């Protein structure tokens, strides 16, 4: 097959040729032209959430999880108490990293097939006034659940509690508008719905809490307050930036804006999701989630019941036909996941469904549901 494999994952994603070509030039990390690109990215990111007045955005080297850890370390003081709203694997990761850095952390568990409940959150905050911060995953891609950002934000704001949002798989596609939603920190990354390449995260921080963040982090490299101060003063990154990743993201954002921004990206991903759901249903596949809580980002499907089904073989056969699927994240039942995001459209999703159909034939899998 001449073309690259299409990545049906929650990141890294399939990217455009324009984005790939942006990485063919070398850059000096202190060069004024490169620093201007960093500044342009920061400005564009703030515009996506209408946050230029009340928020700043701090980029950071590394995977998205690096930035989640940096946000928790920077925003939550040593005597803080974090409540993690847990309905999936990435919630559990947030709780683990919070605990490992010595923060007091309480976990409120919800069913992984359900969205977190703002009323339960309110009851938790009422019962324990020592809680200072709440962590929520906007789109929990363990199963694909969309959690209610607006309602959770409203509860936290009313209770005077800080909200940290992992928006890794939602930012750029699902609406996040700071004119309606308040948070202390919101984290996303280059290799997700903006359709850049992986290697850079970024954290939106509410300006009103910036002063209180000084000295919180016990990590030099992950201190977002220091990163912010240095970048504001010098326009430069503190330590060597992922230059090729940065310029690729700059190009990806230009294409994002040309496409029509967040609303247009959501429309395309929704069309991808619908093509996927319709096509897989015709093959007999059942989605794990109720449509009411399903985000059009990644879909978890029940694995075929046929004894011949083995995910590794299923994965390899689909890969041979040009599509990279994703393993399931659920622990109690066997599933696999198919992403709807990246530089692809409904036609590619229909091709992916055809590849799955041919894979079933190749592996002699007859019983799907």
Tell me the pLDDT of the chain (369 aa) as tens digits: 457 899 999 989 999 999 999 999 999 999 999 999 999 999 999 999 999 999 999 999 999 999 999 999 999 999 999 999 999 999 999 999 999 999 999 999 999 999 999 999 999 999 999 999 999 999 999 999 999 999 999 999 999 999 999 999 999 999 999 999 999 999 999 999 999 999 999 999 999 999 999 999 999 999 999 999 999 999 999 999 999 999 999 999 999 999 999 999 999 999 999 999 999 999 999 999 999 999 999 999 999 999 999 999 999 999 999 999 999 988 789 999 999 999 999 999 999 999 999 999 999 999 998
- Token pair in block for residue 204: 């939106």
In angstroms, the CA 188 to CA 200 distance is: 9
Residue 271: CA count within 13 A, CB half-sphere: 12
Q: Please give the pLDDT value at position 330.
A: 85
Name the phi and psi angles at 55, rounded to 5: -130, 155
Q: Kindly report, as residue ranges, where domains of CATH 3.90.1150.10 are found in the chain.
A: 6-11+261-362
> What class has domain 20-258?
alpha beta
Cα separations (Å) of 21 from 103, 139, 189? 42, 30, 20
Q: Please give the pLDDT value at position 332.
A: 80
With contact defined as beta carbons under 8 Å apart, do 188 and 53 qualify? no
In angstroms, the CA 92 to CA 24 distance is: 38
Name the phi and psi angles at 328, rounded to 5: -75, 155
Inter-helix orientation angle 64-75/89-100, to 10°: 50
DSSP 4: P
Q: Kindly report, as residue ranges, where domains of CATH 3.40.640.10 are found in the chain.
A: 20-258
pTM comes to: 0.97
Planar angle of CA 298, 133, 163, nearest 5 degrees: 50
Q: Please give the pLDDT value at position 1.
A: 43
Residue (of 139, 129, 65) closest to 95 by Cα position: 65
DSSP H or E run through 56: strand 55-61
Domain 6-11+261-362 fold is: 3.90.1150
Q: Please give the pLDDT value at position 2.
A: 52
Q: Please give the pLDDT value at position 246.
A: 98
With contact defined as beta carbons under 8 Å apart, do 287 and 143 qualify? no
Paired strand residues for 82 = 105, 133
């Amino acid at each position: 097959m001449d073309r690259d494999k299409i990545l049906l994952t929650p990141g890294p994603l399939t990217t455009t040729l324009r984005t790939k070509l942006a990485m063919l030039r070398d850059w000096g990390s202190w060069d004024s032209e490169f620093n201007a690109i960093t500044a342009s990215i920061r400005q564009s990111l703030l515009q996506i959430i209408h946050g230029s007045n009340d928020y700043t955005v701090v980029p950071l080297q590394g995977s998205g999880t690096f930035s989640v850890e940096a946000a928790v370390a920077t925003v939550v003081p040593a005597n803080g108490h974090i409540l993690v709203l847990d309905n999936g694997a990435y919630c559990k990761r947030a709780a683990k990293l919070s605990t490992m850095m010595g923060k007091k952390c309480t976990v409120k568990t919800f069913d992984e097939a359900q969205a977190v409940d703002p009323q339960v959150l309110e009851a938790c905050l009422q019962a324990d006034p020592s809680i200072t911060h709440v962590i929520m995953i906007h789109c929990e891609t363990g199963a694909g659940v969309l959690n209610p950002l607006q309602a959770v934000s409203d509860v936290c704001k009313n209770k005077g509690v800080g909200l940290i949002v992992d928006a890794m798989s939602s930012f750029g596609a699902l609406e996040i508008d700071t004119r309606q939603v308040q948070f202390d920190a919101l984290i996303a990354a280059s290799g997700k719905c903006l359709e850049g390449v992986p290697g850079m995260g970024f954290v939106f921080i509410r300006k009103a809490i910036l002063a209180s963040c000084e000295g919180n982090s016990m990590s030099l490299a992950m201190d977002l307050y220091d990163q912010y101060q240095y970048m504001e003063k010098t326009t430069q990154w503190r330590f060597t930036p992922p230059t090729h990743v940065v310029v690729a993201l700059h190009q990806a954002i230009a294409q994002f804006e040309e496409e029509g921004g967040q609303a247009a990206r959501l429309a395309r991903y929704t069309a991808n999701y619908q093509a996927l759901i319709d096509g897989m249903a015709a093959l007999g596949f059942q989605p794990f989630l109720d449509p009411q809580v399903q985000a059009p980002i990644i879909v978890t499907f029940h694995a075929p019941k046929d004894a011949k089904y083995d995910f590794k073989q299923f994965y390899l056969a689909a890969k041979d036909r040009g599509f990279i699927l994703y393993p399931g994240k659920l622990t109690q039942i066997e599933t696999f996941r198919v992403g709807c995001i990246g530089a692809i459209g409904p036609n590619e999703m229909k091709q992916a469904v055809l590849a799955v159909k041919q894979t079933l034939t190749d592996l002699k899998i007859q019983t799907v549901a």
